[in-house]
Amino acid sequence: MKLTIKNYKEATRNIDFKKLPEAAQEAHKEFDSFADFYNEDKDIKEMLDNHFKIVEPYLQDSGKKSPASKKAPKKAAAKKSGASTKGDRKKKPAKTSAGKKTAARKAARRKPHEVDVMPLEIKIIRRYINMHGKKVNERQVSLLYKVIQKAATEKTIRKSSKYADEIKKIGNDLISTYKQMDGTCTFDVPQALFNKLKGIVDGYGVTPAIALIKRFINLYGNITKTKAQRLLTSVSNSLKNGKVSKADKEYEQIKNVQKHLHDYLESDKLLVTNIQLNGLKGLAGLEK
């Protein structure tokens, strides 16, 4: 399997990184620090691409453990059969239906700011507050500052940008932290600033239709019945509860994705042309 930014976490979850070279262990720990900026910085992209090449041979070893994991479902089945003999469980449907209504209401909530591609400012702010309370090293701190510097130089973030003041405060704090730290430190964001920045980040989300399209694109070439059914359920629920509606410009594409997934589950063939796939990638901002 070829590792990418999109499949890395799922593909490597069974790998024991303690057996890998130290450099690979460190890069794995810092993956979240780098992933958001993979397409923003050539050095980061090159570093992660090299890391993927180091890790890929170990994917085969981790896959050999899968047969043992297949024994688990038997225990689960036994528990279910035992539980079914208890006769006082007929009252559950009422609770379940109420739970479904609550879940539907929650699912239908939309973010105040929905975007097709997350703005660089929000990526920076999110990464900054995610370091709060964690042990970080000099490379992680300098990396984030480097992204800010590059954005300022290339004017992808300007003085007139909506969150220019917040980005400036983050940059100043990163410089101060870097100068004071001795190799590593526990990163601390002032509480008032943390609350303000978290409020900003929590207000942003990827447009639900685009999020579903990205999931479909990531599935292509690595699809299974289970994954297809899971995504089809998400698509159907989103159409049902209003997360995706006819008002969305991607509505027709979502209906097409739904049809592709349904057809795949029926025929075991995912018939998507390159033109269709490239069109979806264009909508999702994945042309790079």
63: Cβ–Cβ under 8 A, 6 or more apart, which residues?
A: 14
In the chain, the percentage of residues whose pLDDT exceeds 70 is 82
pLDDT (0 to 100) of residue 182: 87
Higher pLDDT, 215 or 166: 166
- pTM for the whole structure: 0.66
**Residue 124 confidence class, pLDDT cut points 50, 70, 90:** very high
Judgement on whether residues 169 and 226 belong to the same structural domain of the protein: no
Q: Is residue 108 part of a domain?
A: no
Q: Is residue 76 part of a domain?
A: no
pLDDT (0 to 100) of residue 83: 45
Q: Is residue 135 part of a domain?
A: yes
Least confident of 87-96, 134-143, 171-180, 212-221: 87-96
Tell me: pLDDT of 11 over 90: no
Judgement on whether residues 178 and 189 belong to the same structural domain of the protein: yes
DSSP the chain: ----TTTHHHHTTT--GGGS-HHHHHHHHTHHHHHTTTTT-HHHHHHHHHHHHHHHHHHHHHHTTHHHHTTHHHHHHHHHHHHTT-S--TTHHHHHHHHHHHHHHHHT---SEEESS--HHHHHHHHHHHTTTSEEEHHHHHHHHHHHHHHHHTTSS-TTSTTHHHHHHHHHHHHHHHHH-BSEEE----HHHHHHHHHHHHTEEE-HHHHHHHHHHHHTTS--HHHHHHHHHHHHHHHHHTSS-TTSTTHHHHHHHHHHHHHHHHHS-----HHHHHHHHHHTT---
Judgement on whether residues 181 and 244 belong to the same structural domain of the protein: no
Judgement on whether residues 190 and 263 belong to the same structural domain of the protein: no
Higher pLDDT, 160 or 40: 160
What is the number of alpha carbons within 13 Å of residue 133 lying toward its C-beta? 4
How does 221-239 read in b/e, with b if 16+ C-beta sit within 10 Å? eebeeeebeebbebbeebb
Judgement on whether residues 191 and 157 belong to the same structural domain of the protein: yes
Q: Is residue 27 part of a domain?
A: yes
Average per-residue pLDDT for the chain: 81
pLDDT digits (tens, 9 = 90+) for 75-110: 444 444 444 444 444 444 555 445 554 544 454 577
Judgement on whether residues 15 and 55 belong to the same structural domain of the protein: yes
- Residue 40 is part of which domain span? 8-61
Judgement on whether residues 152 and 122 belong to the same structural domain of the protein: yes
pLDDT (0 to 100) of residue 13: 84
How does 14-23 read in b/e, with b if 16+ C-beta sit within 10 Å? ebebeebeee
**Residue 189 confidence class, pLDDT cut points 50, 70, 90:** very high
Judgement on whether residues 162 and 187 belong to the same structural domain of the protein: yes
**C-alpha–C-alpha distance, residues 23 and 54, integer Å:** 10
pLDDT digits (tens, 9 = 90+) for 110-122: 788 888 888 999 9
pLDDT digits (tens, 9 = 90+) for 22-43: 878 878 887 876 787 887 777 7
Q: Is residue 89 part of a domain?
A: no
Least confident of 102-106, 129-133, 164-168, 250-254: 102-106
Domain boundary among 183, 205, 227: 205
Judgement on whether residues 214 and 191 belong to the same structural domain of the protein: no
Domain boundary among 154, 189, 205: 205
As a whole number, mean pLDDT of residues 269-274 equals 78
Tell me: pLDDT of 152 over 80: yes
Judgement on whether residues 215 and 196 belong to the same structural domain of the protein: no
pLDDT (0 to 100) of residue 253: 92
pLDDT digits (tens, 9 = 90+) for 221-248: 778 889 899 999 999 999 998 889 998 8
Q: Is residue 251 part of a domain?
A: yes
Judgement on whether residues 218 and 275 belong to the same structural domain of the protein: yes
pLDDT (0 to 100) of residue 223: 83
**C-alpha–C-alpha distance, residues 26 and 60, integer Å:** 21
Judgement on whether residues 14 and 33 belong to the same structural domain of the protein: yes
pLDDT (0 to 100) of residue 64: 52
pLDDT (0 to 100) of residue 108: 57
Q: Is residue 235 part of a domain?
A: yes
Q: Is residue 213 part of a domain?
A: yes
Q: How many domains does the chain have?
A: 3
Domain boundary among 28, 44, 61: 61
